[in-house]
Amino acid sequence: MNANTRQYEEYDFVIAGAGAAGLFAALLLHQRGFSVKLFDKKSSPSSHSRSIGIHPPSLNLLHEAGVLKKFLNHGLSVTEGRAIVTKAPSRPAVRNDISASQAYHTVQDDTAGTVASGEAQSKAGKARAKTASKPHKSDIHQIIRDRTVKMGNGENADHILVVPQYITERILTEALPEGTVQRSSRVAGFEQDANGVRVQIQHETGELKEYQCSYLLGADGMYSDVRSMSGIPWKGKTYSWPFCMGDFPDNTKFGSQAVIYLTPEGLVESFPLPGGLRRWVINVDPDAPITDDNSDTGVWHTSTDGKQVLSGPNPTVNLLIDAVYHRTGHQLSPAEMHVFSSFRAHRYSSESSVNGRVILLGDAAHVISPIGGQGMNFGWMNIRALVDKLQRKSDGVHTSNSDLSGYDRFAAGNAQKFGKRAHFNTLVGLPGKPAFLMALITDLLLSAPLQALFVRRFTMR
């Protein structure tokens, strides 16, 4: 930086964003001997379960970082998957009328279950649940294919570990030196030259403070301020079919199985969670008035079919409850709901992950559809690749333009590879496909010649 008499706090790396990507990067950098400061504009950690699946490659990374045991203590191991194909019944289901505003999401305790359940536990909510119309058995789809596949043996990293994201972020935060993460603080601007970056941080009081670092890492999500300030182009699409999901007490007999229903009316994903819960995810009609929980800005996106979609009010919870019953036969109680969320699936990429001494990580660099649960995981793979190209010497951080270009190509290649897989997962689950075709696809993918390949792709190996 240019000579200046002013004094700044100096770090090897300043990171914007204390989500799963920023925290993982901070941990690896700290363990390599780099000084790190992490800022997040939110006043408190997230309390949402969000991304839950940690795949085998990520389990290996957590083992190398020395934190895998803590994740195993808070997680649930999944070694079996199940694909169920159904055909539609002859009549529509009856809906239970309770809105999301009457059953908003709350935090679950990672060892014992619920902390609270908001208005869903109110007397009014319980009364609605008790008096609501019960769907008729003829409303339920009929199963025409039910296949189970082994996804691992449960030993070492040979499984998928289910851990709610707020626990993931808590474990990573606790592994960092106290004071590494500072909240209610956002990047207001920065200047870079050949020697480093001077970053302006706006704190909760409105005070602007400057920090000096060798590199600024933007891990501040899909709507990244760092990326926008860098002027890096951001291109992609938003899928027309939105999704909603909820976490409920597990009243199934699936145990620790991850289950996917393929139905003529759309996808249902059902994943076990720690604490005796199970997550249910459905796709809903493109015209459903949902709020995109990935954004609080209400911005427009261009969808894959050329239409435009705008975030609107939350759908009612009965949309999820009725679809799950209609497509699977499993009945959920709105009074027992722990988490409800609606979102749109996106596929976006930055033109480059590197702009001089500014580097983008996680969703700030690449966003893929969450169907299949690979987004957080491939972001961690990219972070590990970046950290491997950095060296700490007595005079600071050392890397080269060619090394950073190599990282950029690696990250873009991963975004392409895993983005295609997530795109396939998303399209397969869209409604309108004949049941016999979905059964044929299921039989083909889980046949002896292709099953091992399918499992490797699903588990990111």
All structural domains of the chain = 9-52+164-236+350-421 (3.50.50.60), 80-150+240-344+431-458 (3.30.70.2450)
CB-based burial label for 52 (10 Å; 0-12, 13-18, 19+): buried
Q: Taking a C-beta distance cutoff of 8 angstroms, is the pair 254, 83 a contact?
A: no
Q: Taking a C-beta distance cutoff of 8 angstroms, is the pair 298, 364 a contact?
A: no
Spatial CA neighbour of 226 closest among 455, 84, 35, 25: 25
* Alpha carbon distances (Å) from 126 to 166, 249, 251: 28, 15, 18
pLDDT values of the chain reduced to their tens digit, one per residue, 461 residues: 444 445 689 999 999 999 999 999 999 999 999 999 999 999 888 877 789 999 999 999 999 999 999 999 999 999 999 999 999 876 544 444 333 333 323 333 333 333 333 333 333 333 333 333 455 555 678 899 999 999 999 888 999 999 999 999 999 999 999 999 999 999 999 999 999 999 999 998 889 999 999 999 999 999 999 999 999 999 999 998 889 889 999 999 999 999 999 999 999 999 999 999 999 999 988 887 777 666 545 333 334 444 444 444 455 688 899 999 999 999 999 888 888 888 889 999 999 999 999 999 999 999 999 999 999 999 999 999 999 999 888 777 888 889 999 999 999 999 999 999 999 999 988 898 889 899 998 999 898 888 988 898 889 98
Integer Cα distance of 411 and 405 in angstroms: 10
Taking the alpha carbons at both ends of the chain, their separation in whole angstroms is 43
Say if strands 9-16 and 208-218 run parallel, antiparallel, or are unpaired: parallel
pLDDT number for residue 50: 84
pLDDT number for residue 397: 87
HSE of 176, CA atoms in CB hemisphere, 13 A: 25
pLDDT number for residue 90: 60
Residue 197, beta-bridge partner list: 192, 213
* Alpha carbon distances (Å) from 151 to 37, 228, 333, 461: 38, 40, 30, 11
* Alpha carbon distances (Å) from 194 to 24, 114, 355: 26, 51, 12
Integer Cα distance of 368 and 370 in angstroms: 6
Strand order in the sheet with 53-54: 53-54, 160-162, 76-78
For 135, the 3-state DSSP assignment is coil
pLDDT number for residue 139: 62
Q: Taking a C-beta distance cutoff of 8 angstroms, is the pair 239, 250 a contact?
A: no
Residue 245, beta-bridge partner list: 281, 341
The stretches of 148-200 forming alpha helices (DSSP H) are 165-174
Integer Cα distance of 123 and 119 in angstroms: 8
Integer Cα distance of 188 and 193 in angstroms: 18
Integer Cα distance of 357 and 397 in angstroms: 11
Q: Taking a C-beta distance cutoff of 8 angstroms, is the pair 301, 344 a contact?
A: yes
* Alpha carbon distances (Å) from 73 to 24, 76, 110: 18, 8, 10
Q: How many CB atoms lie within 10 A of CB 249?
A: 17
Sequence-separated (6 or more) residues with CB below 8 Å from residue 219: 15, 16, 17, 19, 21, 22, 25, 360, 361, 362, 364
pLDDT number for residue 105: 31
Sequence-separated (6 or more) residues with CB below 8 Å from residue 194: none
Q: How many CB atoms lie within 10 A of CB 331?
A: 14
Spatial CA neighbour of 61 closest among 384, 379, 390: 384
**DSSP letters spanning 189-206:** EEEEETTEEEEEEE-TTS
Q: Taking a C-beta distance cutoff of 8 angstroms, is the pair 406, 389 a contact?
A: yes
For the record, the structure tokens of 342 come out as 């609606």
Q: Taking a C-beta distance cutoff of 8 angstroms, is the pair 9, 211 a contact?
A: yes
Q: Taking a C-beta distance cutoff of 8 angstroms, is the pair 23, 176 a contact?
A: yes
- Residues 292, 111, 162, 246, CA torsion sign: negative
